[in-house]
Structure 1
Amino acid sequence: MLKKLLQVDSLVTIRTNKVMTNRLLARRQMVVEVLHPNRASVPKAEIRDKLAQMYKTTPDLVYTFGYQIQFGGGRSRGFALIYDTADFAKKFEPKYRLLRQTGIKAEKSGRKQRKERKNRQKKVRGTKKSKVAAAKK
């Protein structure tokens, strides 16, 4: 079990454990423990930067999520994924996390258009649903 430790501003300590290399999804996945005494919480952007520094990669390949602050404060635990390339991240990472990390707002179509698309999809089965949705945008 590989463990790494990093001191941030002498106030925040980031530890990773249960590090696993997932070759099928071209990423490293790990549990991240953040010790932050005298601080409410640590921004995910800061955690992402420090993990990128620890694992010698760029922050845009690091995806962090699922942080919960321990009752009483001072410690948070979450999950991190470090992809090998941006293409793999785009391929395997859920759309909402990609949007959350890049800061781009998802463009919603109008309510009536969504309802019409939903009703058109109900009339076909299987993989044809995606064709109906894509064709009439």
Structure 2
Amino acid sequence: MNDTVTIQTRKFMTNRLLQRKQMVIDVLHPGKATVPKTEIREKLAKMYKTTPDVIFVFGFRTHFGGGKTTGFGMIYDSLDDAKKNEPKHRLARHGLYEKKKTSRKQ
């Protein structure tokens, strides 16, 4: 991991109803390519003293000219809460949900 990447959180909110913390994430990476989501999850896990498997990040957009990316992140209290509240496609990205293959023949 490169130390020139800075992660800032804003609009932090604790959502007790859904057992999670949600926030807007700003990633500052001047002169570098967009930072992978796995690296962002690991750094957030260190910041909030939790494990990366309960952190879900999505919706990242790099600003024009590069150097700054903004997205959304959620930290669940437990993995069961995440499985209950997260959409299936985000769970599939983490490898927590397997889509059933349907037969095309009638």
- TM-score, normalised via structure 1 length: 0.73
Partners of 2:88 and 2:97 within 8 A in 1: no
Instruction: Supply the distance in 2 between the matched residues of 1:9 and 1:40 (Cα, whole angstroms).
Output: 12
* Cα distance, 1:105 vs structure 2: 5.4
Instruction: Supply the distance in 1 between the matched residues of 2:21 and 2:11 (Cα, whole angstroms).
Output: 10
Could you list the runs of 5+ residues in structure 2 that have no partner in the other structure? none
Runs of 4+ in 1 over 6 A off after TM superposition: none
**Higher relative contact order, structure no. (Cα contacts within 8 Å, ≥ 6 residues apart):** 2
Choose from 58, 61, 83 the match for 1:65.
Answer: 58
Instruction: Supply the distance in 1 between the matched residues of 2:96 and 2:77 (Cα, whole angstroms).
Output: 21
Which structure is larger by alpha-carbon Rg, 1 or 2?
A: 1
Name the structure with the higher helix share: 1
> What is residue 42 of structure 2 aligned with on the other side?
49
* Cα distance, 1:103 vs structure 2: 7.3
- C-alpha distance after superposition, 1:65-103 (max 9, x if no partner): 000000100000000000000000000000110001127
> What is residue 21 of structure 2 aligned with on the other side?
28
> What is residue 100 of structure 2 aligned with on the other side?
107
**Match status 1:17 vs 2:10:** yes
For these two proteins, the number of residue pairs brought into alignment is 106
* Cα distance, 1:108 vs structure 2: 1.8
Q: What is the percent sequence identity of the aligned residues?
A: 58
